[in-house]
A and B are shown apart, each in its own frame.
Chain A
Amino acid sequence: MNNFFSILFSTDFAFSVLRVMTPILFAALGALISNKAGIVNIGMEGTMLTSALTGVIVSAYSGSAWVGLLAGIASGIAIAALLGFFTLKFKTHIILGGIAINMFASGGTVFILYLVSGDKGASTSLKSGVLPSVHIPLLQDIPVLGPILSGHNILTYVSLLCVIGLYYMLAKTPLGLRIRAVGENPQAAQSVGVRVNRVQFISLLISGFFAALGGAYMSMGYLSLFTRDMTAGRGWIGIAAEAVGRSTTLGTFLSSLLFGAADALANALQVLKIPAELIGTTPYVVTVIGLVVYAVTEAKVKSRKLAKNLEKNK
């Protein structure tokens, strides 16, 4: 047990929380922006896988991790555009579209991986690039904080910047106002000349952009190769994080942090003598608990409000 706590309160653990939170946060931001526009993009998982593979292949052939990253982002946006094309133009149900993308990516990435590398499991034969880690001057010398906050992969910092950027965009810019209007009352937006389809399409593209960053991080930061189904549900956890975060940018960030911690805990506990399979379930169990707690507190808050007003009336 002592061992357990020494793991939990180490700077290594705190560092790893941020490390494993990154892909979840990207997925959650992707879910957030599309939900705000009233279209539920559940294709996070598939989009991440696609960009993870694209990044690996392109970086291997171009010799540059940066080119790989750009290609990964482009592939994620392309997937989102495809989803938008079918759901907004041809009115396919968005959930079915999302399922199609997830299944297509799950099988398609293995197929392409096999074509390119001759291996169905991992891209070990490809010499793919890895995005650099960043050591922040001054900050890295501060005890405790330094080892936790400095030295992360560049995309981890990008994810934090994305939180700020998305918050600003939604709260302050015309596009953000339109996205929220479209999500809440599309007829109202339409009546003042806002093109609902276009705004939703833009949101989907941004959603694909975030998911793609998450995917690229998986194969070019978190790991240095692509493995089959390597996202392992992080896209879904991201969607859960968005819900638990009550569709607010800050809430989504905090719940992503929580789910990241659960994931990190699962990794850290592997040194203990607990069956790996059991430990492996931690992030998913935490997700379920998170959703339950969310639902219960929602209900409680409501009933408390009710009781309060009852008192007032008496």
Chain B
Amino acid sequence: MGSSPLLEMRNITKVYPNGVVANSNVNFSLVEGEIHAIVGENGAGKSTLMKMIFGMEEPSEGEMLLAGSKMRFRSPQDAIDNGIGMVHQHFMLVPSFTVVQNIVLGMEPTKGGSINYKEAVRMTEELSAKYNLAIDPHAKVENLSVGMKQKVEILKVLIRGAKVLILDEPTAVLTPQETEELFRELKGLKREGHTIVFISHKLKEVKEICDRITIMRSGKTEGVFTTSDMSERDISRLMVGRDVVLKYDKTERRAGPAVLRARDLSYMGPEGKPLLSHVSFSVREGEIVGIAGVEGNGQAELVQALTGSLPGVKGTVEVAGENMIGRSIKEVRDTGVSYIPEDRMRQGAAKDASISDNLIAMFYRMKEWNRGLFLNKKKITRFTEEQIARYNVRCKGPEQPIGMLSGGNMQKIVVARECEAAPKLLIAEQPTRGVDIGAARLIHERLLEMRDDGCAILLLSADLNEILEVSDSLLVMYNGQFVAYYPDVKEVTEEELGFAMLGIKRQDAAEVRRALHD
């Protein structure tokens, strides 16, 4: 590790045109050859800082030094030209292209005017051998696993000569095994002299591979620390300003009769792949049933089937004894089903509508929210203010467009809407994805409160901590099927769960079928 910083950001302030101060007086420095974590809640200003380093935004104030000399990046291309590369959280890949096409796009080697694929493949193979990132250059990207796609992204950055790699929450979509592989690769890159910026919410991972940590909180830097000096508790205290541990004092579960009962749900995808096959389970009053699994193993289709938005699904879904298949979404909701969707930007919220409009999206038809032909604005505003206070939503007021809020605060509004409807059944799909620890805790506590009040909750999550902490019992989905059922979540180890999620170990059908509670 060298002593003088490779990259330095001094007294950076970023004010967006809408007046939001995303970074104020931020200092950040990167030493060559280190893995440097940036941690912070959502809305703490991590992404803004990264965007400035990568040339996607320009700072309003402050200066940036690269190897001691002043720099200004006006576009990502400037950053790339100066050896800085970014692996985006949402992959920037062209699905119908091959790996090699994606890698050389924009810098294609040519021979007589056409692309020299031989050379492109050679370049790719050379890099993948050098950094031990095994990949088939001729595979189509759309057929690759998430972990493989991420490798393509990393190679894309490396082939452009990046010495500094920014990874934006790289493990969010990976399985535990893929995460381990990624860490091995990152350590390899470090050995080769690359510098890595690692943005994450997962403190355990930060502890595992990072040398130093910059902690951000509400647009400011809380300091730079050597990782080995800090415990997870220390980090989280600085991040959120209070002692956040994702452990909950759960009361004993008092399970009542089944509220949701699904039998033999099967569904064939448009590509002819069975996305659900003979899925049966139940969720009882006063319990949280977790569904774990690597994404894309049928969870999305299962939720669609349960919420009435998957035409063509076979099997039965009963909520409180009533058949739900073939019902409209409104009818399903009227039965007492609430749904926190995974994609809050598209499904969970109307971005340009106000907070209060988003909050009453489930209630506006009801008589008590109307006055004659018009909505009862006073009541709605009062209700919104109550919810903002209750869920500790950071915003300017009920009329602020929800799209202006940070992810965590937006999600709180979605959760408030779905929970305040006092549902019999709540389906929560990745309720705390991309949400800061404070918001996650608040959401989890609300879910547990609802459970104690007798609500039946189905929790789908790719976050193992969440699913192990919040659920009472656990189902594991793999390849459109349930492969394991654990009546008591306390009996499950992470390792065992990982095996089930990857389909390495599976219980027999009878064992899984206990989840029906017939």
Chain A bound to chain B: yes
Whether A188 and B92, one on each chain, are in contact in the complex, defined by CB atoms closer than 8 angstroms, is: yes
Task: Report if B115 contacts A (CB, 8 A).
Answer: yes
A249, chain B: closest CB distance, angstroms: 15
Contact between chains at A184 and B95 (CB < 8 Å): yes
Complex interface: stretch among A118-126, A191-199, A270-278, A286-294: A191-199
Determine, out of B206-214, B268-276, B284-292, B324-332, the stretch whose residues face the partner at the interface. Answer: B268-276
- Asked if residues A194 and B92 are in contact (CB atoms below 8 Å), the reply is no
CA distance A192 to B107 in the complex (A): 8
**Mask: chain A, 178-194; 1 = CB below 8 Å from B; 0 = not:** 10110011011111111
B272 with A192: CB separation less than 8 A: no
Q: Is the CB of A185 within 8 A of B94?
A: yes
**Closest beta carbon of chain A to B332's beta carbon, Å:** 26
Task: Provide the main secondary structure of the chain A interface.
Answer: helix
Contact B97 A308 (CB under 8 A): no
Of A181, A187, A305, the residue contacting B272 (CB under 8 A) is: A305
Which of A168, A188, A190 neighbours the largest number of chain B CB atoms within 10 Å of its CB?
Answer: A188
B114 touches A313 (CB 8 A): no
Q: In the complex the two chains form, is B115's CB within 8 Å of A188's CB?
A: no
If A174-B110, A306-B272 touch, whether A180 touches B94 (CB-CB below 8 Å) is: yes
The answer to whether A310 and B268 touch across the interface, beta carbons within 8 angstroms, is yes
Q: Which residue of B lies closest to A183 (CB)?
A: B94
**Bound CA–CA A190/B94 (angstroms):** 11
Query: Which B residues lie within 8 Å of A194 (CB)?
Result: 105-106
Number of residues of chain B lying within 8 A (CB) of chain A: 31
A309 to B274, CA, bound (A): 8
Interface residues of B in 92-131 (CB under 8 A from A): 92-97, 101-102, 105-108, 110, 113-115
Whether a CB of chain B sits under 8 angstroms from the CB of A117 is no
Provide the bound-state CA to CA distance between A30 and B77, in Å.
31
Residues in B with CB closer than 8 Å to A192 are 80, 92, 105-107, 156, 160
Looking across the interface, which residue of chain A has its beta carbon closest to that of B90? A187
Q: Is the CB of B106 within 8 A of A173?
A: no
A191 touches B92 (CB 8 A): yes
Chain B residues whose C-beta falls within 8 Å of the C-beta of A307 in the assembled complex: 272
Asked whether A177 lies within 8 Å of B96 as measured between CB atoms, the reply is no
> Of B106, B268, B271, which is within 8 A of A193 by CB?
B106
Quick check: is B88 within 8 A (CB to CB) of the other chain?
A: yes
Q: Which residues in B have their C-beta under 8 angstroms from that of A302?
A: 270
Contacts of B94 in A (CB 8 A): 180-181, 184-185, 188-189
Given contacts A185-B92, A191-B92, are A168 and B114 in contact (CB under 8 A)?
yes
Number of interface residues of A (CB under 8 A): 26
Determine if B170 is an interface residue (Cβ-Cβ < 8 Å): no
Whether B113 contacts A173 by the Cβ 8 Å rule is yes
Set A173, A185, A309: member contacting B114, Cβ < 8 A:
A173
Are A177 and B101 interface neighbours, CB within 8 A? yes
Q: Is B105 within 8 A of A178, CB to CB? A: yes
Complex CA gap A185/B77 in Å reads 18
A48-B114 Cα distance, complex, nearest whole Å: 30
**Cβ of A91 under 8 Å from chain B:** no
Do A306 and B92 have beta carbons less than 8 Å apart? no
- Chain A residues within an 8 Å CB radius of B107: 192-193
Residues of B within 8 Å of A173, CB to CB, are 110, 113-115
**C-alpha gap A310/B272 in the complex (Å):** 7
Whether B76 is near chain A, meaning CB under 8 Å from some CB there, is yes
Contact A313 B274 (CB under 8 A): yes
* Chain B 33-79 residues near chain A, CB threshold 8 A: 76-77
List A contacts of B106 (CB < 8 A).
178, 189, 192-194
How far in angstroms is the closest Cβ of chain B from A203?
16
Is B105 a contact of A188 with CB atoms below 8 Å?
Answer: yes
- Taken together as a complex, chains A and B put the C-alpha atoms of A192 and B155 apart, in Å, by 12
- Judged by a CB distance under 8 angstroms, whether A172 is at the interface is yes
**Alpha-carbon gap, A214 to B80, bound state (A):** 42
The answer on a CB contact under 8 Å between A191 and B115 is no
Closest to A184 in B: B94
Contacts of A184 in B (CB 8 A): 94-97
Residues in B whose Cβ lies below 8 Å from that of A187: 92
Chain B positions within 8 Å of A172 at CB level:
114-115
Task: Please indicate the chain A residues that have their CB under 8 angstroms from the CB of B270 in the complex.
Answer: 302, 306
Q: How far is the CA of A194 from the CA of B105 in the complex (A)?
A: 8
Closest CB in chain A relative to B347 CB, distance in Å: 20
Distance from B92 Cβ to chain A, minimum over Cβ atoms (Å): 4
Q: Are B92 and A193 in contact (CB under 8 A)?
A: no
Q: B156: which A residues are within 8 A, CB to CB? A: 192
Residues on the A chain within 8 Å of B96, using CB? 180, 184
Contact A308 B115, beta carbon cutoff 8 Å:
no
Please name the residue on chain A nearest to B109 by beta carbon.
A174
Are B108 and A174 in contact (CB-based, < 8 A)? yes
- Are A181 and B114 in contact, with the CB atoms below 8 A? no
**Closest residue on chain B to residue A307 by CB atoms:** B272
Return chain B residues, CB-CB under 8 Å to A178.
Answer: 105-106
Given the complex, which residues of B lie within 8 Å of A310, measured CB to CB? 268, 272
Complex: A181 Cα to B102 Cα, angstroms: 9
List, sorted by A's number, 16 A–B pairs whose CB atoms are closer than 8 Å. Answer: A172-B115, A180-B94, A181-B97, A184-B94, A184-B95, A185-B95, A188-B93, A188-B105, A189-B94, A189-B106, A193-B77, A194-B105, A309-B272, A309-B273, A310-B272, A313-B274
Closest 8 pairs (CB-CB, A-B): A309-B272, A191-B92, A172-B114, A192-B106, A174-B108, A188-B92, A193-B77, A305-B272
Given A173-B114, A191-B88, A192-B106, 11 other A-B contacts at CB below 8 A? Answer: A174-B108, A174-B115, A177-B97, A177-B101, A177-B105, A188-B92, A188-B102, A192-B105, A305-B271, A305-B272, A310-B272
